Amino acid sequence: KALGALFLGMAGLLPGIDVGAWDKETEEYLAEAKTSWGSMERRFGLAPVYGVDDWKLAGTRPANYPMGRLAGMAAFLSTNLGGNIETLFHRALCQFPIHGPRKEQAEWMTKVSGLFSTSAEDYWSTRHVVGGKRLPSPRALVSADRIGLFVINVAIPFFMARARGKNNREAEKMLRSIAHCLPRPGANAITKYMAGKLFQGKPPRGMLDAVRDQGLMQIYADFCLQNADVCKSCPLADYLGCLESGQG
């Protein structure tokens, strides 16, 4: 709980305590969180990095609000900081059923999701905002989709860099295979934009997976963000045109 208070305090997301303004559970939660945060502020000379007004939540799904995300990460770290987090994820990746059926791969993701599970008694497991309506049942603070993104964006690149540093070709091969087997995250604004530009909105069947989505986002960052004229003077478009005409 102290780590959660630290994260929320640094983010400027802990409101003041107005006695009588909240329900009993919220008042108890805030009293404990504010006490923990105040103690760490004084002891370590901390100050919030952001204020409440810096967070623009309009149009954001409540399940994606930062309070729950920070609480979920705090819960994970509180459980695992005493051990070796690198070993934890390395062991999990080594257990991925590369040649197994989709069902087994989905079950693997469920097990990895369990690493981020939180207690049903956690305040944020039944709330989206401080003092908000209590949810009828506890929710996962870190969704399976987000965990999949963590694996593809953080865990695999980390271990890939480690494998290359040690010239471990077998580990690299295993990590590539895992990456291509992972379920594709839901399309986002960038992948939709790139699919429209490169494939007229209709990518070839089987073309897109979690890895190729990363490629589309990298192309967007390397070319689309750097080119004010977008496609008119894009070097990638010129190169692809040469390939199509047989000149590449």
For residues 171 and 205, state if they share a domain: no
One digit per residue, the tens of pLDDT, for the chain of length 248 reads 899 999 999 999 998 767 677 899 999 999 999 999 999 999 999 999 998 889 998 889 998 899 999 999 998 888 887 778 889 899 999 999 988 888 898 888 888 888 888 776 789 999 999 999 999 999 988 888 888 888 888 999 999 999 999 999 999 999 988 888 887 777 788 888 888 888 876 777 666 778 888 888 888 988 888 776 667 778 887 777 777 666 65
Each residue of 42-69: pLDDT tens digit? 999 999 999 888 999 888 999 889 999 9
Residue 162 lies in a domain: yes
Same domain, 159 and 203: no
Domain that holds residue 116: 80-183
DSSP state of 184: P
DSSP 170-238: HHHHHHHHHHHHSPPPPP-HHHHHHHHHHHTT-PPTT---HHHHHHHHHHIIIIITT-TTTTTT-HHHH
How far apart (Å, rounded) are the C-alpha atoms in residues 25 and 45? 29
Given 183, 199, 233, the domain boundary residue is 183
Assigned domain for 165 exists: yes
Output the 3-class SS for 114-125: HCCCCCCCCHHH
Residue 6 domain flag: no
For residues 162 and 198, membership in a common domain is answered with no
Residue 84 and residue 175 in one domain:
yes
Contacts of 11 (CB under 8 A, 6+ apart): 48, 49, 50, 55, 66, 70
